[in-house]
Structure formats: structure tokens, C-alpha cells
Amino acid sequence: MRYLLTRLAYALPMLFGVSSLAFLLLNLLPNDIAQIKAGEDATPQRIAEIRAGLGLDRPVLERYWDWLSSVLRGDLGESWHNGQQVVDGILATAPVTLSMVVLSLLLSLLVGVPIGVVAAVRGGVLDRVLVSSAVVALAVPNFWLALLMVYVFALSLGIVPATGYVPLDVDPGQWVLHLVLPVIAVASVAVSAIARQTRSAMLENLDRDYVRTLRATGIGEWSVVYKHALKNAGVPILTTLGIQFVNLSGGSIIVEQVFAVPGLGQYTMTALARNDVPVVLGVLVVTAIAVVLINLVVDLLNSAVNPKVRA
């Protein structure tokens, strides 16, 4: 409990820092949004009108304060393009992205951890093959892998649809079919990252004195490896899950474009094309909040696995 509070006490200023940084980044960059929105040959009067309309004529600090206080009330402003509440836009698209990210994270754990364990425990040729594959997989951009899979499984074999999305509550079967390729593409890098992490954590632990003690005590090899060493190796693996979450979110933004999945990525890209700053800012802040929360959860999980953290 005390631990939870200290982590929370750390997370709150983080959120403040992240959102401030995001706002200032977008508002201090040396470029005139009003000019862009008005077009190349707009009259200065028109530009001034647009600027006043967006509230950009007020000082940055004043706007910052307004924005921050409304964010605290759960209001991320409204789109410059169509007046839609940014919160509503995010609520409509975030679940799609979130399900992709969570599924990819699960997939990368389910595949990456066993691969890492097998590589560490079995050694030899198998280890070398797995390690080399992981190194190659790390170098493949997820959107390229996505395209390759579209070509093979959708265009050539026709097993799965090439693009599009069907919500879970409309047709669960179609939902799965539409998400298979995107989720694999997003997870690919995380799988090899987690496999590498698991492998080195397992090797390190199997080399520790406590493993020798367990073996000397007569405890079975299966228990030594899969109960004791794996539990200890879990700590560094868990710690990187927060970072993996950030990477997977970024990955899914791009992969969504390949599959025309209507998630946060598409929402953001549309806003980007229209210079819709409040939308982009909103997405950025919400994602950062999600990351901070995930890190908090990871910390708690960590304290559950690792007795030293709890103490």
C-alpha cells in the first residue's frame, strides 16, 4: 500500500510534466498555424481572423493555463476542423488501438518468453537459430512485415481480409480475422525483444549460486528451471513491459494505416492532414497517461513477483 502511494506520488508530477511538454512543444514551434490553415494567398486580415477564431492571439501562458485546467476537468478541447469534442473522438477510436496493443503485448509474451527460455535452457544449434532469428526480426519494420503478410495471406492465399475492421460486438469471428495480421505485425518486434530479454535473464539466473544450491539439494531440474529460475528472470522481463507498451502503441499507429483500421492512428493522421492541433495534442496526452498508468501497473506486478521491492 505504502509502495503504491510512493509510486502514485511519482506518477502525478510525471503526468503534469508530460502534458506540459506536449502542449509547449506544439505551441512554441516556430510556425504559424493560422497561416497554414488560411492557405498560401490569404489576406493578412483573413489570417488574423482565423488566429482570433482559434484563440491563438492570446499569450501562450494564458492558453496553457486554460488548456491545463480543462484537461484536469477531463476536457481536451474540441477539434478545429469539425468542432467535435476531442475526448469523444478518442473514446471512439482508442478501444480499437488499445485492443490491438494489448493483444500484441499478450502475443509477444506468449511467444517471446517460451522462445527465450528454450534458447537459454536447450542451448546449442537451437539457441543459435533462435537468437539469429530474433536479431533479424528486430530489424524488420512492422509496416513492411504487415504488407508482406497482406500480400501472402490476403492477396495470394485469401485466408484473411486484406484491410478493414469489424467491431467485436458486431461479429467476434470477423473481429479476430481482421485483427490477426495487424496484431502479428505490431507484436513482431516485441516478440524478439522479449525473447532476447528472457534468454539473457534465464542464462544469468541459471548461472547463479542459488541454482546450484537447489540442484545440490536434490530438487528436480524441471522445478529448478521453470519454477525458480523463471520466476527470478520474470523481474527484468516485467520491467521492460512498460517500454514495450510505448513501442507497441507507436507501432500500431503505423500498422493501422496498412490495414485501414479505424483506431487512434487514423484519427491522428486525419487530424494531422488538417493541422488539427487540439486533436493531436489530445491523443498525445491520453497516450502518455496510458503509459504512466501501465508503468504503475507494471510496478505493482513487479512488487508482487519480487519480494525485495516490497520490503
Partner 1 sequence: MSIELATETAGGPGDTSPVPVRHRSHAVARLLRRPGAVLCLSWVVLVFVASCVFRLLDLGRPLEQKLIDSYQSPSGDHLLGTDMLGRDVLARLLYGGWETLAGAAVAVAIAIVLGTVLGLAAGYVGRAVDTVVNWLQDILITLPTILVLLAVATVLGNNVWAAMIVLGVLMSATFIRLVRASTLAVREELYVDAAKVAGLSTARILARHVLPNAMAPVLIQGSAALGAALVVQAGLGFLGLGAPPPVPSWGGMIAEAANAMSIQPWLLVPSGGMIILTVLALNLLGDYLRDELYASRTTSPEHARRRPARGPQQAPVGVPEAGPDALVAVRDLTVSFPVGDRLVPVVSGISFTVRRGEVVGLVGESGCGKTMTGLSLIGLVPEPGVVTGRMQVAGHAVDAGPRSFRGLRGTRIALISQEPMVALDPSFTVGSLLTEALRSHGRNRADARTRARELLELVGIPRIEDVLRSYPHQLSGGMAQRVAIALAISGDPELLIADEPTTALDVTVQAEILDLLRDLQQRLGMGLLLITHDLGVVADICTRVIVMYAGEIVEEAPVGQLFDQPRMPYTRALMASTPVLDVVQELHGIPGTVPLPAAWPDHCRFAARCDLVVDRCRSGPVPLEPVAVGHEVRCVRSAELALTPATVSLETPAVRRQPVGGR
Residues 125-184 that bind partner 1 (CB under 8 A): 127-128, 131, 135-136, 138-141, 143-144, 147-148, 150-151, 155
State how far the Cα of 255 lies from the Cα of 26, in Å rounded to an integer.
Answer: 25
The H-or-E segment that residue 63 falls in is helix 60-72
State how far the Cα of 107 lies from the Cα of 186, in Å rounded to an integer.
Answer: 10
Query: How big is the site for partner 1, counted in residues (CB under 8 A)?
Result: 85
9 interacts with partner 1 by CB under 8 A: no
24 interacts with partner 1 by CB under 8 A: no
295 interacts with partner 1 by CB under 8 A: yes
113 interacts with partner 1 by CB under 8 A: no
70 interacts with partner 1 by CB under 8 A: no
| Contact between residue 100 and residue 252 where contact means Cβ atoms under 8 Å apart | yes
State how far the Cα of 227 lies from the Cα of 214, in Å rounded to an integer.
Answer: 11
- Smallest gap from Cβ 178 to partner 1, in A, equals 18
123 interacts with partner 1 by CB under 8 A: yes
| Contact between residue 229 and residue 202 where contact means Cβ atoms under 8 Å apart | yes
Binding partner 1 by CB under 8 A: which of 206, 237, 238, 298?
Answer: 206
Torsion sign across C-alpha atoms 230, 231, 236, 238: positive
Cell of 43: 489576406
Binders in 245-284 for partner 1, by CB under 8 A: 246, 249-251, 253-254, 257-258, 268-269, 271-272, 275-277, 280-281, 283-284
Nearest to 27 by CA among 58, 70, 2: 58
Q: Nearer to partner 1 by C-beta: 132 or 172?
A: 132
